[in-house]
A and B are shown apart, each in its own frame.
Chain A
Amino acid sequence: MALIVVLLIVQIWLLSASLESYLAGHTGAVLPAAIFSGLIFSGCLALNFFVKRVDEDSRR
């Protein structure tokens, strides 16, 4: 869960930075930011499934 929180903090920073650069008229960083955000979301999803599997295993 701590890992997901860390990833989420990075993603919040990424979103605010890309929004800031977009509003400032710099659009070069928007595509890489979206790609990295997608990767971080994939990581969160993978961790979520991992936690779910561990939780279910421990109940058996």
Chain B
Amino acid sequence: MRLFHSPSKEPLWKDEFSVFTSDERYVTRRQFTKFLTLASLGMFVGNLWILAKVRFTKTPAFPTVEVADISEIPVRGVKLFTYPTAQDHCIMIRTSEEEYVGYSQKCTHLSCAVYYSAKNDCLECPCHQGFFSVKDGSVLQGPPPRPLPQITLERHGAKLLAVGVKGSSTARWHLSSCCSSSRSGC
């Protein structure tokens, strides 16, 4: 198979539909350029697909699920729960007397389960040593590319309820001691 063709004196159709089998496998630079342009079209379609997902995807309605009693978890204590479905494992941590944070337990690197390290006061992924902040779920160290999805918690009386999931928000939900739910930004 020849790698390079010198400019042919033959008509184009004779070059493209050769009678020689070996020449049929030959990809001309022009054909390769066509392939590259098609690949470029594919990339453009991919970007449009992401744009369409952003524009037309509705915010999912999350159920309200009771997670725990206030008295159930000590300060720096942990409670595991599932939210929004039974397959989505989450972790809730009581960071102070009146503060609770909840995150998806699935590491954003390769989906290992993260756990709370009270010693380092952070969430750790044991598989590849990824570390997340307890305050906002952001990546402190290691290979995870994104923060942990944050579970929106609300307090109703002595009950803690999970009411939503935030993709990668840096907001921190502060639960006031009053009965109604209250939130304050980070």
Taking beta carbons and an 8 Å cutoff, which residues of A are in contact with B? 1, 4-5, 7-8, 11-12, 14-15, 18-20, 22-27, 30-31, 33-34, 37-38, 40-41, 44-45, 47-48, 51-52, 55-56, 58-59
Contacts and interface: CB of A to CB of B under 8 A. Distances in A.
A47 B44 CA distance: 16
A58 B10 CA distance: 11
Nearest to A55: B30
B77 interface: no
Given A15-B46, A18-B47, A24-B147, A8 B39 contact: yes
Contacts of A40: 40, 43-44
Nearest to A43: B40
A20 B145 contact: yes
B168 interface: yes
A38 B147 CA distance: 30
Nearest to A28: B54
A7 B43 CA distance: 11
Given A15-B47, A22-B53, A48 B37 contact: yes
B131 to A, nearest CB: 17
Given A48-B37, A56-B12, A58-B7, A34 B47 contact: yes
B166 interface: yes
Contacts of A27: 54
Contacts of B146: 20, 23-24
A19 B54 CA distance: 11
Secondary structure of the B side of the interface?
helix
Contacts of B37: 4, 41, 44-45, 47-48
B8 interface: yes
Contacts of A26: 168
Nearest to A27: B54
B169 A37 contact: no
A21 B30 CA distance: 35
A48 B50 contact: no
Given A24-B147, A25-B168, A8 B48 contact: no
